[in-house]
Structure 1
Amino acid sequence: MKSRCANLLVEYGGIRIDTILKLGGEGGSLTLIGKKNDDGGWTFFRESQESAMTDVLDEEDQDLLLLLNPRTRMIGCDLELALKSLGRHWKQLRPVEIHPDFRWSMYKLVIESRVSNLYHWKKICLKNNPLYQLAEWISSSKHTVVLSGAGMSTESGLPDFRSRDGWWRNMDPHKVANVTAIEENYELFWGFYKYRIETVEQYSPHIGHHILAKWEKNGWIHGISTQNVDGYHVVAGNHNIVELHGNIRSIRCHYCGRSSDVADFLNRLNCSSCQGPLRPNVVLFGEMLPDNAWNQAFQWFHRAELVLVIGTSLQVAPANQLPCLTSGHTVYMNMEMPEELDPSFDLMIKGKVGQLLAELDEMLDYIHSGKEE
């Protein structure tokens, strides 16, 4: 880590540097800047200019006094240490600019202390924060529903089919996930879904799944319609679930519909009743969504005051039409922003689903604690 930071300092003149935190006063400023690394972490630098800020410093802030010049210095890869390097009174200075990725973490540090300028911190950290706007919508909504997709699963470790690095790049879905494949190329069909089932069983729900289960328990969301077939929402504890495309761990006979065990399918057995081929109870290409699942989702989204679309590219019909049913707010959250995405969403938030939901959860707890008053 130290060697990487040292190398970055040498390259400083030719790399992109973002403002992390800019503190100002009359006549000068103190700025924490940073470079985002390939692994998602940050390397931090600090900039300072001579100013009237010396009147908030005392003898214990001698290190900060040395910084009051136009020089830029690297301070390392740890945010907490970077903030400490700004002096003991950095929270008392007026915030001018804060990087969106750090607004909530900064505000949590500020509210732990008694500061005279809390209004300015709150204005920048919360009122201009789309995640906090969403937290307020969730808190006030009487009927919030979720549409989840592959982005929820990939953070658990499962391969994605439709991202730029997904499985579909190397395999024609119409040849393997098709109704005709069961009868014309069952060996390929069975091998593909055997691998998928075994992969699903290797992983488990991540923090985002558990947060959605908590929100359902708290009454903050009222239903989840998912395009995923891994069953992780149920495993995490959600009960109001519509699995639009079925569940890969549910097995039935393709001919007579009789239920069977996952082990029977994995062992390549036939139906014990009619000797027909076994298959996962998922929606294949060439099949319609189950009427009961679609009707339930339709009702939920039609009466929703708030719709959260999480981790889906919205490329698959008819599930991609569900957000259009609501007259309330719509929010899109995903690691990737498809070029053809409907621009009518009220909020579009890019990032890892688990991290976004974890931060939202902290905000909701903060709102419901009454501390924001």
Structure 2
Amino acid sequence: MSDAAEIKQAAEWIAKADGMLITAGAGMGVDSGLPDFRGPEGFWRAYPALRHHGYSFEAMANPEGFVRHPRLAWGFYGHRLALYRATQPHDGFRLLLQWSSRMKHGAFVFTSNVDGQFQRAGFSHERIVECHGAIDFMQCVDACTSDIWPASGFVPIVDANRCELINAMPLCPHCGRLARPNILMFGDWNWIDAQTERQERRLANWLPKVERLVVVELGAGRALPTVRRFSERHGPRVVRINPREHGIAPNVGVGIAGGAVASLTRIHEMLHR
């Protein structure tokens, strides 16, 4: 199938759908200027101070970091929190909102991203599953209770040259020990998943109502295939958008080689021919 044919097929599925499942990985944020940490070099370009320490993304995205070097761990996550708060969601979010607003059952989002960009773009928090948690919420580093709380009161100040938090570290309101983001990390046994479980229940209640589902997958790579596998389970009308890893079985969907904004814009133009 040619590229033009894939765009046309995607537009036809979207035009006929009565509900849209939007699935998104780290590549979704690239057009907004967010790093996707693709490989160690990409990670170190975003955080050059961590190259000096020799820390990889896997080493930083690890609960052990909050025990061994908490100011460095909060420097990394504090910088990300400030970056996500300051980032304007790209135009692709608007197009997805516009398409889904015309569908009987609207849209539901399933994302491995922790950046809160879908909420900032105007999607209802009641229609989003954050399968790896969210940086906008905190929990106790020891999970002393199952509570999580908004990070809105925490304004991180980070020394970029050292990637270390300068101001006071956030603490658990229950036990007074260190708090951490409510994000699923590598080797993480203390992540509190109650909010994600509630989100997944809402999605499970929504899906059976949709008769003509279209799945639009954006920026989900093979390295952590959670989102790709989730999309494929909900075929056969999956639109996979990815600059490098757009391959998909023909009986599951179509693949479009490109970034989020460019590809969604091409589909939008086809919808309005």
Deviation at 1:286, TM superposition (A): 2.8
Over 3 Å counting, the alpha-carbon distance change for 1:296 and 1:348 in structure 2 is same
Letter in 2 for 1:291: E
Partner residue in 2 for 1:225? 110
Pick from 157, 167, 171 the counterpart of residue 43 of structure 2: 167
Partner residue in 2 for 1:253? 140
Do the aligned residues in 1 keep the contact of 2:128 with 2:199 (CA within 8 Å)? no
Higher relative contact order (CA 8 A, sep 6+): 2
Partner residue in 2 for 1:151? 27
Pick from 1, 14, 18 the counterpart of residue 138 of structure 1: 14
Pick from 328, 339, 342 the counterpart of residue 236 of structure 2: 328
Query: What is the alpha-carbon distance in structure 1 between the residues aligned to residue 151 and residue 20 of structure 2?
Result: 35
Structure 2 portions without partners, runs of 5+: 46-50, 157-166
Q: TM-score, structure 2 length as denominator?
A: 0.75
Deviation at 1:342, TM superposition (A): 4.8
Structure 1 portions without partners, runs of 5+: 1-98, 101-127, 367-373
Over 3 Å counting, the alpha-carbon distance change for 1:282 and 1:322 in structure 2 is same
Do the aligned residues in 2 keep the contact of 1:229 with 1:248 (CA within 8 Å)? yes
Over 3 Å counting, the alpha-carbon distance change for 1:151 and 1:165 in structure 2 is farther
**Which protein is bigger by CA-based radius of gyration?**
1
Matches within 5 A, 1:1-373: 129-162=5-38, 166-167=42-43, 171-219=55-103, 221-239=106-124, 240-254=127-141, 255=143, 256=145, 257-264=147-154, 266=156, 267=167, 268-287=169-188, 290-297=196-203, 305-337=213-245, 342-344=248-250, 345-366=252-273
Q: TM-score, structure 1 length as denominator?
A: 0.56
1:86-125: CA deviation from partner (whole Å, max 9, x where unpaired): xxxxxxxxxxxxx96xxxxxxxxxxxxxxxxxxxxxxxxx
Pairwise CA RMSD: 2.9
Query: What is the alpha-carbon distance in structure 1 between the residues aligned to residue 205 and residue 67 of structure 2?
Result: 36
Partner residue in 1 for 2:160? none
Query: What is the alpha-carbon distance in structure 2 between the residues aligned to residue 259 and residue 142 of structure 1?
Result: 35
Q: Which moved more, 1:351-360 or 1:297-306?
A: 297-306
Query: What is the alpha-carbon distance in structure 2 between the residues aligned to residue 217 and residue 161 of structure 1?
Result: 32
Over 3 Å counting, the alpha-carbon distance change for 1:132 and 1:260 in structure 2 is closer
1:34-78: CA deviation from partner (whole Å, max 9, x where unpaired): xxxxxxxxxxxxxxxxxxxxxxxxxxxxxxxxxxxxxxxxxxxxx
* Percentage of matched positions with identical amino acids: 27
Query: What is the alpha-carbon distance in structure 1 between the residues aligned to residue 226 and residue 255 of structure 2?
Result: 21
Over 3 Å counting, the alpha-carbon distance change for 1:348 and 1:202 in structure 2 is same
Over 3 Å counting, the alpha-carbon distance change for 1:361 and 1:299 in structure 2 is same
